[in-house]
Amino acid sequence: MLTVRDGRDDLGTTITSFMSVSLDPPLVLASVASSSYLTEVLRRRPRWAATILSASQRALAGRFASEGRPSARILLASEPHHRGEHSGALVPDTGVSALECETRQIVEAGDHTLFVAEIVSTDYVSAGRTPLVRAARRYLPG
């Protein structure tokens, strides 16, 4: 899940393509639909948060993936969360891991935009949680 704090609101979405790119410096890549408002905001706001959701957060992933979703603040209202110290983005507390990132490169790739970002901070890591994994258009059993 990717979240970003805009000047007016908090935005977020479930992303299906997120990966490590480099260990030195620590870089990750997030793929976001080019036509989305989130892409427009990420072009203006270089700092954002990525949360690796746990298998128990399938409903949360669904809420953040739905079309016409409300503000991330509303979607996280019933979930324990906090603001990232470096990004100001909303971060759910019960994921597997949360990273705060700063975009270093933007690449157009078909109907998606790739945001290559340096990890500014590891917000938390919860080693005992099973990650939520989606493959072939469905979630794998956790």
pLDDT one-digit tens code per residue, 30-62: 999 999 999 999 999 999 999 999 999 999 999
CB within 8 Å of 7: residues ≥ 6 apart: none
Report the percentage of the chain scoring pLDDT > 70: 99
Quick one: average pLDDT of 112-119?
A: 98
More confident residue, 141 or 60: 60
Instruction: Show the domain range for 34.
Output: 2-139
Q: What's the whole-number average pLDDT of the chain?
A: 93
- Total domains, the chain: 1
pLDDT one-digit tens code per residue, 65-88: 988 888 999 999 999 999 999 999
86: left (phi over 0), alpha (psi -120 to 50) or beta: alpha
CATH classification of the domain holding 40: 2.30.110.10
The pLDDT assigned to 142 comes to 67
Using CB atoms within 10 A of its CB, is residue 23 exposed (0-12), middle (13-18) or buried (19+)?
exposed
101: pLDDT strictly greater than 90: yes
